[in-house]
Amino acid sequence: MTNKTGNLPNEDSIIRFAEKENSDELSPMNPPDAYSPQNIELIPYEKLHPFLQELVDEHKAFTKVLNTFEEALINWRNNEWVFTDAINARLKQLFSFFDEKVPLHNQKEEKNLFPLLHKKLIETDEHNSKDPSYTGINVIEDEHMKVAQAAAVVFNFLGLGSRLPDTRSQVITFEAAFEQGITIVETMKLHIFREENILFPRTMKLFTTFELEKFTQ
């Protein structure tokens, strides 16, 4: 069975994954293999539209920062929540990146790409089965917001914990900051994977060369 585009039903698309997240199909004993989407034809970097290549390049820079941040978090925990200059510098790097780079990147996607792709996904029946106005774009945009909120929580927890005089309360606060920090890393790595291996390939398949030029206008 295929949809109107002649492609296999979107069992492994972002929107299908989102539907399963809210169903009884998921359980700790049967988790989805989020990093192994099937029936999605990957597009080599060289064949992507320049606008999409630019987004991929920015993802690579962000991934480096995420890896450094994750390493700093683990070192901080292993150091029993004692900050060193190296740990401080690596943690601050993420927050600087969120302030200076991430908003610009997200704006490119949310202003230039997502509205057009969202409309195209609805037109080709690649949407939520119960709500035709809900597509994978909604999932991605929601992740943008949730990660930004989590980063703010981590930043505030770090500041709060550093000022707490009670050691036990400080440890609890730092542990919460650590968990939220790891969540940011895991969420963003999966988010980037989804964009590069699902959304961007679908963009190249669904849009004509003329339509792709609209992304840079």
pLDDT given at position 22: 45
Lowest mean pLDDT among 75-79, 145-149, 155-159, 213-217: 213-217
Per-residue pLDDT at 42: 84
pLDDT average, residue stretch 27-53: 72
- The answer, yes or no, to whether residue 205 has pLDDT greater than 60, is yes
Q: Which pLDDT value is given to residue 78?
A: 98
Q: Is the pLDDT of residue 33 over 90?
A: no
pLDDT score for 209: 86
DSSP the chain: ---TTSSPPSTTSHHHHHHHHTSTT--TTS---TT---S-----GGGS-HHHHHHHHHHHHHHHHHHHHHHHHHHHHHTTT---HHHHHHHHHHHHHHHHTHHHHHHIIIIIIHHHHHHHHHHTT-S-SS-TT--HHHHHHHHHHHHHHHHHHHHHHHHHHHH---HHHHHHHHHHHHHHHHHHHHHHHHHHHHIIIIIHHHHHHHS-HHHHGGGG-
- Tell whether the model's pLDDT for residue 4 goes beyond 90: no
Share of the chain above pLDDT 70, in %: 82
pLDDT of residue 215: 77
What is the structure's pLDDT at 36? 63
Q: What is the structure's pLDDT at 29? A: 37
Q: What is the pLDDT of residues 87-118, one digit of tens each?
A: 999 999 999 999 999 999 999 999 999 999 99
pLDDT at 217: 66
Average pLDDT over residues 159-183: 96
The pLDDT value recorded for residue 212 is 87
Q: How does pLDDT run across 114-153, given as a tens digit for each residue?
A: 999 999 999 999 999 899 999 999 999 999 999 999 999 9
Q: Residue 38: pLDDT above 60?
A: no
Percent of the chain surpassing pLDDT 90: 76
